[in-house]
Chains A and B, each alone.
Chain A
């Protein structure tokens, strides 16, 4: 029972120890906004952590100034940490206080998992596509379905939740 690590692993560790002072190369990331007079879409791409908080905050400030519903398009978000998620939650609370909605669109499987693990997922609506998010916001804004319930009795897994909310996202 020899517990010595494989040779390859040792070499890699030794090699890396020379560069411990260097920060890891930052993943490219961006926050861009589109405004289409019903919803403001903020597109996030890349990896989000403490270093990106200020730019994300600027994005949310922009969205707040537009005074519209917000779609946070996270298709190309590779990873997101709690500082950024905290901003998302705060932005959603601000939006709700002003009578508007913030939704997330098209998370990757990993990000979906993060949203679920942090409990953000049922709290903030998540849609599978940006188009569906926009359609749902438009319908909601125009008064929704008077009396009609877009609920399903066909899928017990979603618990008959409202449809067009992609409640049963990726898993």
Chain B
């Protein structure tokens, strides 16, 4: 296992959205509730991450709630990523967010992981398998 993948936990209050490079995929971490004011930077960060590396890990450890604008953003980001063949993995969503996703019948649409390391491991395995099947064709 490739050690502690991210040390981005440093709380950065003036930058609620951070984009970091992980070993297998870019990591977008949100250090605020997913509300209207975070939507714009989060949308940009997710788009940039998908364009650059494909699959994205969205770290929600420090996001406790989500409003309808945030939900809409998540859905749009998912659809855009899907069009490019990428997955958005959620890391440690709060119970509030899990409940919102469940209510909107969106659970099961996003792969959910406990921590960034697990998500990165999973994506690394996925990339390896994808690489093998593109090599075979």
Bound CA–CA A132/B43 (angstroms)? 22
Residue from B1, B92, B113, B117 having most chain A Cβ neighbours under 10 A? B113
A128 contacts B121, C-beta separation under 8 Å: no
Query: Interface range on chain A: under 10, 10 to 19, 20 to 34, or 35 or more?
Result: 35 or more
Contact of B87 among A131, A144, A146, A154 (CB under 8 A): A131
Interface residues of B (CB under 8 A from A): 1, 82, 85, 87, 92-95, 98, 102, 105, 107-109, 111-114, 117-118, 121-122, 125-126, 128-130, 132-133, 136-137
Given A150-B113, A168-B102, CB of A143 within 8 Å of CB of B108:
no
Contact of B118 among A142, A150, A155, A167 (CB under 8 A): A150
Number of A-B contacts defined by CB within 8 Å: 92
Contacts of A132 in B (CB 8 A): 87, 108-109, 111
A139 contacts B92, C-beta separation under 8 Å: no
Contacts of A139 in B (CB 8 A): 122, 125-126, 129
> What's the minimum C-beta distance from B103 to chain A, rounded to whole angstroms?
11
Interface residues of A (CB under 8 A from B): 36-38, 127-129, 131-132, 135, 138-139, 141-155, 157-158, 163-164, 166-170
Contacts of A154 in B (CB 8 A): 92-95, 98, 112, 114
Residue of B nearest to A168 (CB): B107
Given A139-B122, A145-B118, 16 further pairs, Cβ under 8 A: A36-B133, A37-B136, A132-B109, A132-B111, A138-B129, A138-B130, A138-B133, A139-B125, A139-B126, A149-B114, A152-B113, A154-B114, A163-B111, A164-B112, A166-B109, A169-B108
Given A150-B118, A152-B114, CB of A142 within 8 Å of CB of B125:
yes
> What's the minimum C-beta distance from B124 to chain A, rounded to whole angstroms?
9
A38 contacts B114, C-beta separation under 8 Å: no
B122 contacts A170, C-beta separation under 8 Å: no
Residue of B nearest to A145 (CB): B121
Residue of A nearest to B107 (CB): A168
B122 contacts A37, C-beta separation under 8 Å: no
